[in-house]
Amino acid sequence: MSPTQRLAAWPLALSGAAFACVAVQAQTPVAPKDAEPATRAAQDSVAKTLPFADRADFEDANYGFVATLPDAHIAGSGARPVWSMKPYAFVTGDAPATVNPSLWRQAQLNAIHGLFKVTDRLYQVRGFDISNMTIVEGDSSLIVIDPLLSTETARAALDLYYQHRPRKPVGAVIYSHGHADHFGGVKGVIDEADVAAGKVQVLAPHGFMETAVAENILAGNAMSRRAQYQFGSLVPVGPRGQVDTGLGKALALGSITLIAPTSTIDKNLERRTIDGIEIVFQLVPGSEAPAEMLMYFPQLRVLDMAEDVTHNMHNLYTIRGAEVRDGALWSRYISEAIENFGANTDVVIAQHHWPVRGQARVVALLKKHRDMYKFINDQSLRLLNQGYTAAEIAETLRMPTSLEKEWSARGYYGTLSHNAKAVYQKYLGWYDANPANLNPLPPVDSAKKAVAYMGGADAVIARAREDFQRGEYRWVASVMNQLVHADPENRAARELGADALEQLGYQAEAGTWRNAYLYGAQELRNGVMKIPVGNTLNADTLKAVNTEMFFDYLGVRLNAQKAEGKRLIVNWSFTEPRLQVVLNLENSALTYVTGKQSDKADATITLTRAALDAVTLRKTTFPEAVQAGSIRIEGDAGRLVELLGMLDTFNPMFEVVEPKR
Ligand SMILES: [Zn+2]
């Protein structure tokens, strides 16, 4: 990613709900350092272990190349491009010692960009955003599958296509699933008016709108902050910085939009013919996204695995924080895809990474991924049943050789380590059943005691420096984390901790881990960047948030101390669309019931959903809307003001690698 702020709020961006529109240059008063000898040795060992001579992925990724834009440079409205491969020009030749050679290889593959002919009537634009746009040529119109993350990149991708292919209008857009990198650019390829007029159809899997935004609202602020670690959005691009996300190069800047589907696929293996193109949809809810679907094109003998089979191990757990996904279910869907389509598929594509062609190669790829997720699921369960804890399982589990040497199963995005822990979390939760861990002291208190027991900070640092020389970075990072929690002003501890995280980042094969480590090092050295709070929602994606969720979110914002002893009832009467809600504050908890009004209410608010949205989008404030008459209050308005005063506003840049201030 660029050294500028990409998306401060990827999870909300993923959900489409939000991103902070800020442009802050990463400040790096303390520059990143070089690779240590232990890191060089680790990189050498990777270079010797993995089958780098196998260049099939590069052939596949370049196959069918038609054309591209120089550096895939896509300008935005501001000075910064919305997208550009130019900052990544250094990702050529052999890996520097500061990048894991396996990740370096993936970063090279993810840097390949342009329009590609997959087969007759089916094209892809890749490397114009983190995700792919697939374009299928109907008899008289185009079907666009997944219009990227932002309108600017989507428009550029379609323009590139039009420069080399007949200019048929887009007649249909299909969203494979509800993550924003698969719908956000929709208004770059179609007009909402044409959809309303029935000229363009928009298809999505069952449950798309309900889950698209909902996945990330209630814990959104925390997810956004954590996403900065996962994507390295504030880590400068470079051989000592961000090189890739594993799943794709980076997230495009630009505007995220959403047009609601005109129709959803509700039946598994439903068949539809769109402008002469036959499509069989396999529903795969609860795999990589709560609502997702695969697509098979019988006439073209192409299978689109959406995001369920790509060229990396995906996440059962994402380190930005999200609900854990079910590896066994994921595996079963791939198994079903093999049964349904494997024998009659010549090319498998996905909405990230590059296609694989040849029926036998397609099935081989699908089988590896089917087995990878089943292996992680079952072996983690086996070991937890033997009594091993999450950390022990993650440390001991090794992929079978047949999967370990498979490039597409390498942990560039998810890792075996954190996915194994995810299985533990799914079945057993955070507690390892050892009562010593049932209620230990929290980080700051336990760190202070531990440092004192260890003979004080100076003694700890002296010993940790020796371990650092020996390459024991995991331990040094962990023990310096304790020192920083005991005393965040301890400069030597912060720097040694940063040095250790940095070497871990250089060694990491996962783009996500590298980003997390390097961002952590950056924050230990330079502190948390000051970022203005952006508008966290946009009008398009807010439409996908149902009104009930607004009240759920109010409950999340309620500051229990401020609400202590308070009792309040507010009637909400939405006139358009009609909805009645009684909001109840009691015992420092906000609850609500719908479909009625209370006759004991302190106040009654009458409004439209549009008026509420305007406040949420900060186009106006609650008091201004009352003054303007778009929100009407009867009863005791003072009590409402009191309630608003009890709501927290979240700090988007809370401390992570140091104690909360
Ligand atoms: Zn995606």
Encode pLDDT of 445-497 as tens digits: 999 999 999 999 999 999 999 999 999 999 999 999 999 999 999 999 999 99
Mean pLDDT, residues 67-87: 94
From the CA of 414, how far away is ligand 1's center (Å)? 13
pLDDT at 17 over 70: no
From the CA of 177, how far away is ligand 1's center (Å)? 8
Mean pLDDT across the chain, nearest whole number?
93
Q: 101 preceded by cis ω (within 30°)?
A: no
pLDDT at 655: 96
From the CA of 480, how far away is ligand 1's center (Å)? 35
Given a contact cutoff of 8 angstroms between Cβ atoms, the answer to whether 237 and 1 are in contact is: yes
Given a contact cutoff of 8 angstroms between Cβ atoms, the answer to whether 500 and 473 are in contact is: yes
pLDDT at 416 over 80: yes
Task: Tell me the CA distances in angstroms from 184 to 41, 80, 104, 137, one per residue in order.
Answer: 42, 19, 28, 22
From the CA of 229, how far away is ligand 1's center (Å)? 17
Task: Determine how many CB atoms are found less than 10 A away from the CB of residue 398.
Answer: 10
From the CA of 43, how far away is ligand 1's center (Å)? 29
pLDDT at 3 over 90: no
Confidence of residue 536 (pLDDT cuts 50, 70, 90): low
pLDDT at 22 over 60: no
| DSSP states along 223-246 | HHHHHHHHHTTTSPBSTTSB---S
From the CA of 149, how far away is ligand 1's center (Å)? 9
pLDDT at 321: 93
From the CA of 148, how far away is ligand 1's center (Å)? 9
pLDDT at 19 over 50: no
Confidence of residue 539 (pLDDT cuts 50, 70, 90): confident
Mean pLDDT, residues 284-311: 98
pLDDT at 432: 97
Structure tokens at 348: 């498998």
From the CA of 307, how far away is ligand 1's center (Å)? 6
**162-196 per-position pLDDT tens digit:** 999 999 999 999 999 999 999 999 999 999 999 99
From the CA of 515, how far away is ligand 1's center (Å)? 18
pLDDT at 541 over 90: no
In which region does residue 101 sit, left (phi positive, over 0), alpha (psi from -120 to 50) or beta (all else)? alpha
pLDDT at 283 over 70: yes
Of 538 and 163, the one with more pLDDT: 163
Q: In terms of Cα–Cα distance, which of 37, 82, 305 is closest to 177?
A: 305
From the CA of 399, how far away is ligand 1's center (Å)? 25
From the CA of 154, how far away is ligand 1's center (Å)? 14
From the CA of 252, how far away is ligand 1's center (Å)? 12
From the CA of 53, how far away is ligand 1's center (Å)? 29
pLDDT at 417 over 50: yes
Confidence of residue 8 (pLDDT cuts 50, 70, 90): very low
User: 309 by DSSP, 3-state: which?
Assistant: coil
pLDDT at 6 over 70: no
pLDDT at 214: 80
From the CA of 250, how far away is ligand 1's center (Å)? 11
Distance CA 648, CA 512 (A): 30
Query: Using the 8-state DSSP alphabet, how is residue 488 labeled?
Result: T
Of 25 and 354, the one with more pLDDT: 354
Mean pLDDT, residues 639-646: 93
pLDDT at 124 over 50: yes
pLDDT at 535: 55
From the CA of 315, how far away is ligand 1's center (Å)? 11
pLDDT at 534 over 70: no
pLDDT at 236: 95
Q: According to DSSP H, which parts of 429-510 are helical?
A: 443-453, 457-469, 473-486, 491-507
pLDDT at 178: 94
From the CA of 324, how far away is ligand 1's center (Å)? 16
From the CA of 12, how far away is ligand 1's center (Å)? 13
pLDDT at 533: 58
Mean pLDDT, residues 506-513: 98
Q: In terms of Cα–Cα distance, which of 366, 408, 411, 321 is closest to 397?
A: 411
From the CA of 179, how far away is ligand 1's center (Å)? 6
Q: What percent of the chain has pLDDT over 90?
A: 89
Structure tokens at 631: 């929100």
**607-627 per-position pLDDT tens digit:** 999 999 999 888 999 889 999
From the CA of 34, how far away is ligand 1's center (Å)? 32
From the CA of 131, how far away is ligand 1's center (Å)? 6
From the CA of 178, how far away is ligand 1's center (Å)? 9
User: 638 by DSSP, 3-state: which?
Assistant: helix
| DSSP states along 109-123 | HTT--EEEEEETTEE
From the CA of 361, how far away is ligand 1's center (Å)? 23
